[in-house]
C-alpha cells in the first residue's frame, strides 16, 4: 500500500493541459523541428559553396531552432501532456543565390511568428494563462529573429552582385553568429 501513498505525494497538482492546447503545442514542436532541418540544409548549401561564415550562421540557427523545439517538448511533458515527435517535411536542398536563401529564411521566420501568434491566441481563448505566459518568450524571440533576418537582407541588397562585398559579408556574418549564440536560452 505504501506506493499508493508515495504516488499521491508526487502527483502533480497543477492543471493539466487541455487537449487542444496540447495538440497546438505539438504542431509548434513540429514547426520548430522543421525550422531546424531547413536551416541545417541551408548550412550545407552554403558550406559546399565555400560560404563558411554563412554556413556557420545557419548551423547556429539550426541549433537554436532545436533548442526552441526542446523547450516546448519539456513544457508539454511537464504539464501532463505528451510531446509527440513526428516525421518532418523535407527541406529544400539547393538555392540559386545566397540572397534567395536569406529571403527564404526571412519568410520562414514570418511564418513561424504567425504560428506563435495563433498559438498565443488559442491559449487566451482557453484561459490557459500558464501556457500564455510560457509563450511570451517565443513572442520576444520571434521579434528578434525577424529583425535579424530583415537586417541581413538589407545588407545583401546593399551588396548587390559585388563579389568583394559578398566576401566581406561572409566574414561579418560570423560575428553575428557569435552574438546570436549568446542569445540562445534553452531551458
- Per CB under 5 A, residues contacting Fe ion are 32, 65, 68, 145
- Decide whether 30 or 99 has the Cβ nearer to Fe ion: 30
**Residue 168 backbone class (left: φ over 0; alpha: ψ -120 to 50; beta: rest):** alpha
- Decide whether 128 or 145 has the Cβ nearer to Fe ion: 145
- Decide whether 145 or 170 has the Cβ nearer to Fe ion: 145
At residue 115's C-alpha, the angle toward residues 136 and 93, to 5°, is: 120
Instruction: Give least dist CB 92 to Fe ion, A.
Output: 16
CB 106 within 8 A of CB 83: no
What is the C-alpha separation between 142 and 117, in angstroms, rounded?
Answer: 10
CB 172 within 8 A of CB 54: no
Could you give the residue ranges of the DSSP H alpha helices within the chain? 2-10, 19-48, 52-78, 98-125, 129-134, 136-159, 163-183
Instruction: Give least dist CB 167 to Fe ion, A.
Output: 27
- Decide whether 22 or 65 has the Cβ nearer to Fe ion: 65
Instruction: Give least dist CB 90 to Fe ion, A.
Output: 19
Instruction: Give least dist CB 51 to Fe ion, A.
Output: 20
Neighbours of 168 (CB within 10 A): 13
Instruction: Give least dist CB 42 to Fe ion, A.
Output: 12
- Decide whether 22 or 145 has the Cβ nearer to Fe ion: 145
Amino acid at each position: 500500500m505504501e506506493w499508493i501513498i508515495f504516488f499521491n505525494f508526487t502527483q502533480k497538482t497543477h492543471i493539466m493541459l487541455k487537449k487542444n492546447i496540447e495538440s497546438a503545442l505539438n504542431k509548434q514542436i513540429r514547426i520548430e523541428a522543421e525550422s531546424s532541418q531547413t536551416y541545417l540544409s541551408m548550412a550545407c548549401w552554403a558550406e559546399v559553396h565555400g560560404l563558411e561564415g554563412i554556413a556557420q550562421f545557419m548551423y547556429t540557427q539550426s541549433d537554436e531552432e532545436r533548442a526552441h523545439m526542446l523547450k516546448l517538448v519539456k513544457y508539454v511533458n511537464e504539464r501532463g501532456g505528451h510531446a509527440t515527435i513526428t516525421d518532418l517535411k523535407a527541406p529544400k536542398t539547393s538555392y540559386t543565390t545566397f540572397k534567395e536563401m536569406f529571403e527564404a529564411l526571412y519568410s520562414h521566420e514570418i511564418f513561424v511568428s504567425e504560428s506563435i501568434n495563433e498559438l498565443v491566441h488559442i491559449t487566451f481563448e482557453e484561459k490557459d494563462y500558464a501556457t500564455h505566459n510560457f509563450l511570451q518568450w517565443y513572442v520576444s524571440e520571434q521579434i528578434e529573429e525577424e529583425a535579424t533576418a530583415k537586417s541581413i537582407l538589407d545588407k545583401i541588397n546593399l551588396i548587390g552582385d559585388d563579389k568583394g562585398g559578398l566576401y566581406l559579408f561572409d566574414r561579418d556574418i560570423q560575428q553575428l553568429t557569435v552574438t546570436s549564440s549568446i542569445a540562445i536560452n534553452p531551458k
